[in-house]
Amino acid sequence: MAVRARDVMTHLLVTVRPEEPVARARRLLADHGFGALPVVDPDGRIVGIVGAADLLDLPEPQARTATVGSVMCTPVLTAGPDTEVHVLDHRLARYGGHRVMPIVERGRLVGVVTRGDLLRRRAHGGVIERLVGHLRGTHRRVPASTGRVLRVVGSRPGPATGADEPPHTLLCARDVMNGHGLVTVTPETPVERAVELMSVHHVSEMPVVDGRGVVVGVVGETDMPPDRTWHATTVAAVMTTDVVTLGPDASYDEMTRVLAPGGLRSVPITEDGVLRGVVSRRDLI
């Protein structure tokens, strides 16, 4: 039986309106860890999408007064609840710059499907497949030892403190890089385990490090082959080895250039090659 959008989509939606301030979109993206938000009208009809990349280059004076409608992307490619997942996979791979496909029924937004949703389905199979596997004793979990959670130097900026808070353009990488525990893999990690880690930790890509913590690559959702042959594959076979990194003292402008629209979604922060943290677009907005 074909698996369709309604079987994998997320129903609990976080949306914004075109007339709302950009500041609200920024807060929602940061609070929920999303890369993009659907923009809807009062009737729940989708009118655009706004993502972290759309907000990254917005000059601060403009950001204080801009509305979501002035920066959102439109028109929006959508799909229906009965669209088969292989069609969604193709559309997201080819057209899904925001990594999200809005699901629309009778003109109204009813859910979203992300690349992560499709990847989780491929990794874990359907409900019936998992149940049969448990009954037969064939459903297996990849050992947790094949992935890592590293503690990294640095922390996110705390809540706004008024006059004491430095202007965001004066921040450097060590001020904003992820300091809550960083998920990494090694070249020897099975791809199946990498998929599980991305699913559990809700990340779209991870640094690949060697035994000394030196960054040797990056692996993400878009690196995964379109079929399930990767169950017998290691990260080394699919990772990107041409990795752009920045140092802990990299300026806001340097980070923005690397993470600008059309560029990277995240950048490893290294010191003498050793991973110290990661900065994503969401960290800069």
Please give the Cα distance from 142 to 230 (Å, whole number).
Answer: 13
Average pLDDT on 36-64 reads 86
Q: How confident is the model at residue 196 (pLDDT cuts 50, 70, 90)?
A: confident
Cβ atoms of 80 and 64 within 8 Å: the answer is no
pLDDT tens digits along 1-19: 788 999 999 888 899 999 9
Report the C-alpha gap between 87 and 188 in whole angstroms.
32
| Per-residue pLDDT, 214 | 96
Q: Which pLDDT tens digit goes with each residue over 77-92? A: 999 999 999 899 888 8
In CATH, which superfamily holds the domain spanning 144-284?
CBS-domain (3.10.580.10)
Element holding 219 (H helix, E strand): strand 215-220
238-258: pLDDT as tens digits = 999 999 999 999 998 889 888
225 or 71, which is more confident: 71
If you average pLDDT over every residue of the chain, what do you get?
79
Predicted pLDDT at 52:
80
Q: Which of 94, 100, 96, 95 is nearest to 116 (CA)?
A: 100
Under a CB-based contact definition with an 8 Å cutoff, are residues 45 and 108 in contact? Answer: yes
Q: Which of 117-126, 158-167, 222-231, 244-253 has the lowest mean pLDDT?
A: 158-167
The DSSP call for residue 190 is: B
Q: Which has more pLDDT, 188 or 56?
A: 188
pLDDT at 62 (0 to 100)? 80
Single-letter residue type at 240:
T
Q: Report the pLDDT value the prediction gives residue 222, as an integer from 0 to 100.
A: 75
CA distance 57 to 79: 29
Q: Is the pLDDT of residue 194 over 80?
A: yes
Tell me what pLDDT residue 261 has: 61
Q: What pLDDT is stored for residue 173 in this prediction? A: 93
Q: Could you tell me if 234 and 201 are in contact, meaning their C-beta atoms sit under 8 angstroms apart?
A: no
Q: What are phi and psi of 101, to 5 degrees?
A: -115, 110
DSSP designation for 166: P
DSSP string, 74-129: -S---B-TT-BHHHHHHHHHHH-TTSEEEEEETTEEEEEEEHHHHHHHHHH--HHH
pTM exceeds cut of 0.85: no
Q: Residue 221 has what pLDDT?
A: 78
CA 166 to chain centre: 27
Non-local (6+) Cβ contacts of 118 within 8 A are 8, 85, 88, 89, 92
In the block, residue with structure tokens 């990849």: 142
Average of per-residue pLDDT across 197-224: 87
Which tokens is 72 given?
């959102």
Least confident of 102-106, 111-115, 160-164, 187-191: 160-164
Place of tokens 């809550």: 180
pLDDT at 249: 94
Q: Please check the confidence at residue 130 and state whether its pLDDT lies above 60.
A: no
Residue 59 predicted with pLDDT over 50: yes
Q: Domain 5-122, what fold?
A: CBS-domain (3.10.580)
Compute the Cα dihedral for 231, 237, 238, 239 and give only its sign: positive
Q: Do domains 5-122 and 144-284 have the same CATH topology?
A: yes
Parse the chain into domains and list their residue ranges: 5-122, 144-284
> Residue 220 corresponds to which tokens in the numbers above?
């993400």
pLDDT at 118: 78
Helix axes 191-201 and 115-124, enclosed angle (nearest 10): 130
